[in-house]
Amino acid sequence: MTEQAKNPLHGITLEKLLTELVDQYGWEGLAKRIDIRCFKNDPSIKSSLTFLRKTPWARTQVEELFVAMRSKG
């Protein structure tokens, strides 16, 4: 098996990942789990994507939350 096949984020766009997290937790729940201003003040997918693409530490936290959510099933 290749490394990409083992990667739980393989083939998932940042937008899809963020949309699933918002569907699961809502913006308020997301802001409680990850302390990022763009999740608290007038949140939107577009503004959050812009921030996450420019901020590696924040993107990593969002990706880790997504993987944890998916593993809980």
> Which tens digits make up the pLDDT trace of 3-35?
565 788 889 999 999 999 999 999 999 999 999
Nearest-CA neighbor of 35 among 57, 7, 11, 2? 57
> What does the pLDDT look like over 39-72, one tens digit per residue?
999 999 999 999 999 999 999 999 999 999 988 8
For the chain, first and last CA: distance in Å? 23
CATH code of the domain occupying 14-72? 1.10.720.30
- Domain spans, the chain: 14-72
